[in-house]
Every structure is written in structure tokens, then in C-alpha cells.
Structure 1
Amino acid sequence: MIRSIVVAAGLAASVSMAVAQEYPERELLGVIMWGAGGATDVVARAVTPAAEEALGQKIVMLNKAGAAGAISTTYVASAPSDGYTILFGAENPQLHGVMGLGEIDYNQFYPVNILGRGVGVIVTSPDSPWESFADVVADAQSRPGEIKMGSTGPGGIPYVIGAMLSTVADYEVTAVPFDGEGPGLTALQGGHVDFMPVGASAAAELIKAGTVKPLAVFNAEEIDALPGVPPITEDYPELSSLLPWGPFYGVFVKADTPDDVKAKLTEAFKTAADTEAFKTLMADRTNITMNISGEEADAFLKQWQSATAWTLADAGAVERSPEELNIPRP
């Protein structure tokens, strides 16, 4: 009897191992958090072909936008934990709790790969006398409220960067909201606002054309896509505790997916993100390739959530306190 149990257990283990070794034995579903043509969609579709080759299976791509990413995260969180449904996501779920959009964030997922991140840049008009963001602050201090900053409302890149800057510089400007970075940059070029923090990808071509002038990249060092533009920490080293910061792109599966499945996915996407084609696409879009997973990726996700959630909370732009959600201060 005892021998039978042992033999049965051995057979079960062998079968389990065989099944695990066969993964993936069918095509996967890749759920993209945002719509076709958006930044997350472009990055996801760029990295997928090499990942498919490494896995030996096709990944069927499905755009499932809505509710700032909450629909896609809920969809993947409701799928079986077998590695056949993966999420191509951006940063938004890390703010769902404080913004009152949902209870699911990346704590419920395993970061197969944080593929890369975008970088913010502070721009002004070419004929502006300012040569650095410190010049903006000094000017704003001399005439409080007169300088106009382009913004996109709470939670957007301009708003968050503006809020982070206000934690280290005592100045007062008037925020002018727009429906997106594009309209805000158009207004800047038309002289309707004086400066604007934006994603570097939105401003890169305008900077090259000389229709806007960069004052600083919102990063701890220069970026290759904008050589010669100083990092914001050159004038405000105190911001280092909030950096790196910017929109990011990643691949996720449910946290309770089997470890061997996670390992296969991690290896496949690490290989894919290391291809020259993918790295070139990221650089062309002024993104920084990260290609990190596991504990390193988890530490990045927690740092990003902490810095952003508390910045928004201190600016009075959240529905729930980060403290209530056990998000530590940076």
C-alpha cells in the first residue's frame, strides 16, 4: 500500500514535470492595456515577434482599453494562472488605488519584464530668456502667478512632474489645462503658455525642429535622445529620491503563475527586449530600455508607486490616501 502511494506520487510528479516542460503547448493571449497605435501598443507589438520565436508559440494580441487600464488588469487577473494570458501594461495600475479606479495594482502580478520607460522634459519657447529650470523658478518667485505652465490635469505627466518640482522649489505659477500634451505644446508654440513639462517622446521632434527649447530632462542623467540637455538633478539634486520616474511599459502575469512558467516567459522576453530592433525602436521614441524582471522590476514598481502616489496625495489630487493603502513615503 505504502509502495503504491509512493509510485503514484512519483508518476504524478513526472506527469507534472512533463506538462511544465511542454509550456507553452498552445498560443498565448497578450492583452494590451491601451488602444491600437498608442505607446503601449507600439512597444508591445514591437517586442512580441522575438518573444514568440523564443517561446515557439504565437501570442495573439488583444487591445482592451478602458478605465485607465483597470479593464485590462481585471480581465487578466480573472484568467487562469497558467501563463497563457499575459498583460502588456503601462504605469496606470500603480495609481488605481489612490485615484479610486480599482483595487488591483501590480502587487497582484509578476513582472515578467519592465521593458523600458519614458522620460519627461521641461520645454519653453525658443525665444525665452530662460536657460534652465532654475531660471524659471527665480522668475516665478519675482512675479508669483504670472508665469503660465501647460498641464493636462491630475495624473497626467505634466501635472505629476509639476507637483514633484513643487516639492523642491518654492515658486508659484498658473497651470493651464489642455486635453493632452499635443494641444499643450501647440499652445506653447503659439505663446499661450510659457513652459510645459511633457513626455520626451511628445516633444522630441519639436526640439529637433527648434520650435521648442528644452530646459531639463526629468531624469538623474542626460539621455541619449536629447544630448546636451541637463538632468533636473543638476539644479535640484533633492529630486533624486523620486527618480527614475516616467511612463513605463511592461509584461506581466498573475503572481501565482507557476515558477517554471514565469521563468520561461522571463527568458523569452529578456531575449526579445535585447534585440537591436527593439532597442532601436525604444531609442527612436526617446525611451530608455530597462529589460529588468523579478525582484529588480518589483523594486522599480514599488519606488514608482511610492513617489507618484505621495506626490499626488500632497497635491490633493487623490481619492484615497497612500497611507491607507500601505504605500510608504519615498
Structure 2
Amino acid sequence: MNKLIFGALSALTLTAGAALAEYPEKEIQGFIQWGAGGSTDTVMRSVTPHAEEALGGTIVMQNMTGGVGAIALNHVSGADADGYSLLMGAENPLLYKVMGLGDKDYSDFIPLILLARGTPLLVANNDAPFDDYQGFVDYVKANPGEIRIGATGPGGLPSVITAMMNEVEGDLDMIAVPYDGDGPALTAMQGGAVDVMPAVLGAAIEGVRAGNMKALAVFDVEAAAKLPDVPIVTSFNEGYNTFLPWGSFFGVFAPKDTPEDVVAKLSEAFATGAEHPDFLALMDDRGFKMMNISGDEAQAFLDKWQQGTTWLLNDAGLTKASPEEFGIARPGE
């Protein structure tokens, strides 16, 4: 009888021990939406070692490319919601539905953390006949169809900022000149092939500092620390407050049914990792603005970003479907 009691107690002890096991019990898989060497890859591989240290676990990183990031998103969305499959992503999934790239987006996930975002900057060729943002707007309106603006394709930063300017200022009649990325477009602008170019601050800042191009405005609600003398666009037109802050961003996501305690541990670990001096230095060096937000604050940012961006692209005729079809309300409604 004593042996039976002892055996039962031992079984209960083992069961209780298993129930109380601390997450993580095994390796966590982190799936990066983009290829090796890109911005998302660099950001995620820089912050994750510091998050691992805070978490007390191992996160195995792997690049899963394809479908403008949709392959990785669909893979993690279909994985068990147990905290062992994470999506290391950027902003692109918020456009999948309206651009006809997929039927899932971040509404199928919990934002564990939004790490940092890029800041858009409008720059111009040094010989352009204007020196600030208001001068640019006035010139375009007085000379329709004359100014050439660099572009990188639907959904890219230049297309969104151009659509934003048209929405806030009224249609600005410019000639869009397409390039394969902001690097070639900025090079072309310095050579005089285009007059203006919306670009992320990190890509344009060295050209501005070297005097190879002039900065007209920072598309943000506060000044950029690296270019404090360049005015923010809201100082010219408060209508931009509807859409800003805006920019490409980087975040870590888990399937939406992941347990709350696991979400809390992961969010805390990545928040700690994001404060590591090495990571902060990398973000500063690349011109990214730290966010380090999670929970309701992160979700509010994602919702505003998706609302503003999808409707801007829709009104510019660049989407495959209306945001309304997916329950995405127009900003202000």
C-alpha cells in the first residue's frame, strides 16, 4: 500500500513539475521575411542575441524568402501558437490584402515588439529651382508636368510619400521616373536625371551632409536628431498629422493565440535586447528611429499605418482592391 501511495505521489510530482516548466523549454525558431544582408535581416540578427540573453533561451534564425515576405508570414501563421515560431518582419504584410499579395496580414499575429522605424526625407537635386518644401510645392503647382520625381514601384516608400503629398497638398502634377531601388534613384537625382526623391533618411543622409543634395523636409512629427536643421513637413502643412508618424519598420510577431505569459516573456526579452548599447548604436548609425513598443501601443501604430498607407495607395490607383473590402476604415472615419 505504501508503495502504491508513493508511486501515485511521484506521478503527481512529475506532472506538476511538467506543468510548471519554464518557457522556453526548447529552441525557438525565428523566421526572417527577407534574405541575408538586407535591412530586416541585419536588424533581427543584431537584436536577437541580446534578447536571447534576457530570455535565457536560444532563438535559431533562418531566412525564409519569397512572395514579398508572404512565404514566411504564412508559415508562422500556420505554426503552433506556443511561442516557438516567431516572425521577424517589416511593414510589407500590412499591404498584402490591398496589393493582392495574400489574404493574411498582421491581424493574424500579436506584435511582441516594434523595434524601430525609418524616417522619410524629401531631397532634391542641388540645381532644383527651390530650396525648401513650400518652395517645391509652389513651383510644382506653377509648373505642372515639369518636375521629375524618383520612384521605386507601387508600395515602396517613394510611392507612399508621393501619394501622401498629393492627398495633403492636392494633386501635384509631376513625372514619376522609376528606378530599381532608392540607391540608384538617389544617384540619378544627383546626376540631374530627376529633380526630387522621397527616401529613407538613412539612405540619403550622407549625400545631404556631403552637400551632394539638399533636404527639403523630414516627413515626421518631430525633427530628426541627425538633421536637426531640416524642418518637419507638418510645420508647412498640419494636414500631414493624419498620416504621420510613418515609415518602414521592423518588428517581431507571434501567432495571435500564443499564451499571454509567453507573449509577456518574449516582449520583455526583446525590449531589453533593444536597449543594448550595440543595438542602439546600429540603429543610430543607420538613421532608424527607436520605437521599442509592444501591446496596445504597437497595435495602435500598426492600425494607423495600415489605414493611412492602404488608402493613400488606393486613392492613387496603385492597389488591386479597396481597403474597404477588408474592413480597413479610411483615416478619420
Shorter-chain TM-score category?
A: over 0.9
Give 1:4's aligned residue. none
State the one-letter code of the partner of 1:323. E
Q: What TM-score, normalized by structure 2, do the two folds share?
A: 0.93
| Deviation per residue, 1:122-154 (Å, 9 max, x gap) | 001123342212111111111110111111121
What is the deviation of 1:11? 8.2
| Deviation per residue, 1:127-182 (Å, 9 max, x gap) | 33422121111111111101111111211100110000101113211111111111
State the one-letter code of the partner of 2:54. A
- Whole-Å separation in 1 of the counterparts to 2:309 and 2:19: 42
Please tell me whether the aligned partners of residues 30 and 61 of structure 2 are also in contact (alpha carbons under 8 angstroms).
yes
Structure 2 residues without counterparts, runs of 5 or longer:
1-8
Give 2:73's aligned residue. 73
What is the deviation of 1:208? 1.7
SS of corresponding position for 1:98: helix
- Whole-Å separation in 2 of the counterparts to 1:62 and 1:120: 29
Please tell me whether the aligned partners of residues 313 and 321 of structure 1 are also in contact (alpha carbons under 8 angstroms).
yes
State the one-letter code of the partner of 2:197. M
SS of corresponding position for 2:60: strand
Count of aligned residue pairs for this structure pair: 320
SS of corresponding position for 1:53: helix
- Structure 1 runs of 4+ aligned residues shifted over 2 Å read 10-17, 126-129
Please tell me whether the aligned partners of residues 82 and 257 of structure 1 are also in contact (alpha carbons under 8 angstroms).
yes
- Whole-Å separation in 2 of the counterparts to 1:291 and 1:234: 26
SS of corresponding position for 1:96: helix
- Whole-Å separation in 2 of the counterparts to 1:295 and 1:127: 46
- Whole-Å separation in 1 of the counterparts to 2:77 and 2:97: 16
SS of corresponding position for 1:250: strand
Give 2:327's aligned residue. 326
State the one-letter code of the partner of 2:20. A
Give 2:3's aligned residue. none
Please tell me whether the aligned partners of residues 29 and 86 of structure 2 are also in contact (alpha carbons under 8 angstroms).
yes
Give 1:195's aligned residue. 196
The aligned runs of 1:1-330 (5 Å cut-off) are: 14=16, 17-19=19-21, 22-170=22-170, 171-330=172-331
Please tell me whether the aligned partners of residues 87 and 253 of structure 2 are also in contact (alpha carbons under 8 angstroms).
yes
What is the deviation of 1:33? 0.9
- Whole-Å separation in 2 of the counterparts to 1:199 and 1:81: 34
Distance 1:148 1:78, change over 3 A: same
SS of corresponding position for 2:169: coil
What is the deviation of 1:102? 0.5
SS of corresponding position for 1:324: helix
- Whole-Å separation in 2 of the counterparts to 1:41 and 1:249: 10
Distance 1:56 1:145, change over 3 A: same
SS of corresponding position for 1:101: coil
What is the deviation of 1:252? 0.5
- Whole-Å separation in 2 of the counterparts to 1:17 and 1:327: 41
Please tell me whether the aligned partners of residues 225 and 286 of structure 1 are also in contact (alpha carbons under 8 angstroms).
yes
- Whole-Å separation in 1 of the counterparts to 2:111 and 2:141: 43
- Whole-Å separation in 2 of the counterparts to 1:321 and 1:33: 25
What is the deviation of 1:17? 4.2
Please tell me whether the aligned partners of residues 225 and 284 of structure 1 are also in contact (alpha carbons under 8 angstroms).
no
SS of corresponding position for 1:154: coil
Please tell me whether the aligned partners of residues 125 and 194 of structure 2 are also in contact (alpha carbons under 8 angstroms).
no
Q: Aligned Cα RMSD in Å?
A: 1.6
State the one-letter code of the partner of 2:246. W
SS of corresponding position for 1:112: strand
- Whole-Å separation in 2 of the counterparts to 1:173 and 1:12: 71
Question: Identity of counterpart residues, as a percentage?
Answer: 50
| Deviation per residue, 1:172-198 (Å, 9 max, x gap) | 111111111111111101101110111
- Whole-Å separation in 1 of the counterparts to 2:46 and 2:126: 34
Please tell me whether the aligned partners of residues 116 and 292 of structure 2 are also in contact (alpha carbons under 8 angstroms).
yes
Give 2:4's aligned residue. none
State the one-letter code of the partner of 2:282. L
What is the deviation of 1:119? 0.8
Structure 1 residues without counterparts, runs of 5 or longer:
1-6
Please tell me whether the aligned partners of residues 310 and 322 of structure 1 are also in contact (alpha carbons under 8 angstroms).
yes
